[in-house]
Amino acid sequence: MAEGRVVGIDLGTTNSLVAYMQGEAPVVIPGADGSNLVPSVVALDPLPAGGGRPTVTVGNTARKALIETPERVIYSVKRLMGRGLEEIHDELKMFPFRLAEDVEAGEVPRIKLGELKFTPPEISAYVLRQLKRNAERFFGEQVTQAVITVPAYFNDAQRQATKDAGRMAGLEVLRLVNEPTAAALAYGLDRAKVGTIAVYDLGGGTFDISILKLKDGIFEVQSTNGDTHLGGDDIDNLLLAIALDEIHAEHGIDLRAHPSAVQAVRKAAIEAKIKLSTEPSASFNIELPNGDRYQREIPRAVFELLIEPILERTAGPCKQAIADAGITPEEIDEVVLVGGSTRIPAVRQLVDQIFHLAPRGKKPHIELNPDEVVALGAAVQADILAGDSKTTEEMLLLDVTPLSLGIEALGGTVARIIERNSTIPASATEHFTTGVDGQTNVAIHVVQGERELASDCRSLARFDLKGIPPMSAGLPRIEVRFLIDADGILQVTAREQRSGQAAEIEVKPTYGLTDEQVEGMILDSFDHAEEDFAKRLLIEARNEAETILTAVERAPQNPAWALLSGEEQAAISAARGKLEAVKLGSDPAAIRDATLALDQATRRFAELMMDAAVTTAIRGKTMGVAGEELGDAVTAPHAMAPAEFK
């Protein structure tokens, strides 16, 4: 097996990122547009005129389509991952998810996107594939293995759905890592080796709290809790609902019937929310379809009052996690904040209260960008899994299962077999027997959750132990082994002990795709073929070479050229000559190397070319990045993000 790189992926509700370990530090891999964040938005382009399948776009371009063609765009799909039809009703009220009409109970819901229908894992697969491509473009080589993060409080079905998405995107998912734990890994690299830390992770759509003990490089999770449907989205939706109600009341227009208008208001709500993290007040100023304007001032105090009930929902899980870890808030040495929503000052105040920070002279950690820290941690875990790394060889993550695993017992009650917060992998062995003479199968219902009744827990799977040799009632002794693996996913095996026969079991997940279904959904498998990949790589490398060559050709016309020394000019010419020479060859790596060499040779020229005002902002960056950041203001030599090639 090829030992390629393993990347770390944060598949977020709002944004997704891919990162890798660059020497001793994790770094985020930027996309072709130079941006580290890929919005988790997927859009379907208009049908091609000549027929055929329309193209799918991901990220910033897809987000732009949100206002023009909202019916062809989907976002926040993470909220639907691993959930059944009846579970997503509430989400459907808040999001413009258009469910396909022909979905039957027990099936994985399909979402309409223009003319086509996709399951949530497929939508996520498109996002993952974009990240995979960004990484491949960056490394100049194929990437097939990844670590993907999931909310710690994700259940079995949500985890399985995420893994399925990875497979559809052509990625072997080496491990699912819990997001707060990943964040702890990112922080733990250069931190004191012993202590108890709490990670408070309020993202776009999910909330997690995890408490870990650090000792000699071992990150041992003590407890975790959370809410997989609580995050910045809820704040956006609250502001949106208020604005829509006010518009209806004041202007007599019900915008809910106008999807594009709703998206415009939603965009304004998000902007207001973000502004309120730094400003004392924000305002709505939106033109309505009838030409009226909706204007509204929101002081921060009012905003904080509005969102208090949402934020308060994070307090309960925190207290439970602290109690489950068997400690008091005072025993927590450090608190780490993760997720974009932790930029809200009211969230920081709440965290301060819950963990008694200010009285102890402590502050939560925000040194690492809360949008990036999970991806950085995923890269650290990827490095651990890849092995052979001096930086991470002493590190090991011991995570827990967030929810208790149980089986439905007589009377619909739950018999717990693996308690929540058990270190994974964890297992339990149970024995079952028959109730009727000659009975040859026994039905077992596995659930996940903390409630007393099976009907109040999340149904994971139902299965039949088949092929039990006919015996008198109570005589067969079937041993069933439940094992939660290191990804937090359940595996079941069974054996009849008296006859020594392995009982046949077919574990049918209550929701989820079958292996065959996943296989059929693997995204255009042809473009993963070796040959195609090499071709694509060569074309991309040539394009990048062309771009920089065109720019360098024009360079002498720029006044900045005269400021270069003769040596510098000669170095540029030499690098240019080299690239011209290899450009026509068929080795993408050689072309990329030469492109990079030319980019570096022109670094000082790029700096000189910028006017003094912007020089400070881009110091130390290559021309490629500087050009992107400055947009059209500067004729950058080429539009390629800095890349490290092997």
Partner 1 sequence: MFKVLDSAVPIACWSCSVGHVESTLFCPHCSKIQPPSGSDFFHVFGLDHLFTIDLEALETEFHRLSRKLHPDRYARAGEIERQWSLADTALLNDAYRTLKDPISRTEYLLKLEGAEIGEEFSGKDRAANGKDPSRVPADLLEEVFDLNMQLEEMRMARKMGEEDPSLTASLTDAKKKFDILMDAVDQDLRRQWQVWDSGDDAVRAVSQKKMVALLDRRRYLNNLVRDVTETLGA
Binding residues for partner 1, rule: CB under 8 A, are 1, 3, 145, 174-175, 215-216, 218, 220, 381, 384-387, 396-398, 406, 409, 413-417, 419, 422-431, 452, 479, 481, 483, 485-486
Contact criterion met (CB below 8 Å) for 188 and 214:
yes
Contact 210, 224 (CB under 8 A): yes
User: Is residue 132 classed as helix, strand or coil in its secondary structure?
Assistant: helix
- CA quadruple 146, 151, 156, 158: dihedral, nearest 10: -80
* Integer Cα distance of 614 and 298 in angstroms: 34
Determine the 3-state secondary structure of 176 from DSSP.
strand
User: What letter does residue 423 receive in the DSSP assignment?
Assistant: B
- Rank residues 193 and 360 by Cβ distance to partner 1 and give the closer one: 193
Residue keyed to tokens 């450009």: 583
Provide the minimum distance between the beta carbon of 404 and partner 1 in the complex, in angstroms, as a whole number. Answer: 8
Q: How far is the CB of 476 from partner 1 (least distance, A)?
A: 16
CB of 1 to partner 1, least distance (A): 7
Residue 268 contacts residue 294 (beta carbons within 8 Å): no
Active site residue 179: yes
| Active-site residue (options: 136, 179, 234, 544) | 179
| Alpha-carbon dihedral angle through residues 39, 44, 48, 49, given to the nearest 10 degrees | -120
* Residue 491 to residue 503: CA distance in whole angstroms: 15
Closer residue to partner 1 in complex, CB, 99/483: 483
- 563 CB-near residues (< 8 Å, 6+ apart): 608
Has 578 been annotated as catalytic? no
Structure tokens that stand for 150 in this block:
């999931």
Closest approach of Cβ 381 to partner 1, in Å? 8
Contact 268, 274 (CB under 8 A): no
364 contacts 337 by C-beta, under 8 angstroms = yes
**Beta bridge pairs of residue 80:** none
- Out of 122, 136, 164, 201, the active site residue is 201
The two beta strands, 41-44 and 56-58, are antiparallel
Coil, helix or strand for 442?
strand
Nearer to partner 1, 213 or 296 (CB): 213
Contacts with 59 (C-beta within 8 Å, 6 or more apart), sequence order: 31, 33, 38, 39, 41, 127, 130
Closer Cβ to partner 1, 352 or 479, answer by number: 479
What's the CA gap between 356 and 335, in Å, rounded? 10
Would you call 611 a catalytic residue per the annotation? no
Of 20, 399, 384, residue with least CA distance to 181: 399
Nearer to partner 1, 378 or 384 (CB): 384
Question: Nearer Cβ to partner 1, position 322 or 357?
Answer: 322
Q: Which residues contact 372 (CB under 8 A, 6 or more apart)?
A: 10, 17, 19, 28, 36
Supply the minimum distance, in Å, between the C-beta of residue 163 and partner 1: 14
Instruction: In angstroms, give the least distance from the CB of 98 to partner 1.
Output: 39
Q: How far is the CB of 300 from partner 1 (least distance, A)?
A: 34
Q: How far is the CB of 487 from partner 1 (least distance, A)?
A: 9
- Name the minimum Å distance from CB 551 to partner 1: 42
Q: How many angstroms separate the CA atoms of 579 and 382, rounded?
A: 34
**Residue 556: partners with Cβ closer than 8 Å, 6 or more residues away:** none
The per-residue DSSP string of 139-150 comes to HTS---EEEEEE
- Give the nearer residue to partner 1 in terms of CB position, either 104 or 388: 388
Question: Shortest Cβ distance from residue 162 to partner 1 (Å)?
Answer: 17
CB 314 within 8 A of CB 180: no
Amino acid identity, position 611: D
- What does the block give as tokens for 634? 């500067």
Is 464 known to be catalytic?
no
Amino acid at 51: G
**Strand boundaries in 41-160, DSSP class E:** 41-44, 56-58, 73-75, 111-113, 116-118, 145-150
Indicate the residue among 415 and 529 with the shorter CB distance to partner 1.
415
Burial 135-145 (b: 16+ CB within 10 A, else e): bbbbbbbbbbb
- Output 102 or 216, the one with its CB closest to partner 1: 216
Which of 396, 539 has the CB closer to partner 1? 396
Phi, psi (deg, nearest 5) at residue 350: -60, -45
Q: Round to whole Å and give the CA distance between 191 and 187.
A: 7
Q: Which is nearer to partner 1, 483 or 597 (CB)?
A: 483
For residues 507 and 492, the answer to whether their CB atoms sit within 8 Å is yes
Return the closest-CA partner of residue 423 out of 215, 222, 227.
Answer: 222
- Closest separation in Å from C-beta 439 to partner 1: 22
Residue 447, amino acid? V
Residues assigned a catalytic role: 10, 78, 179, 201
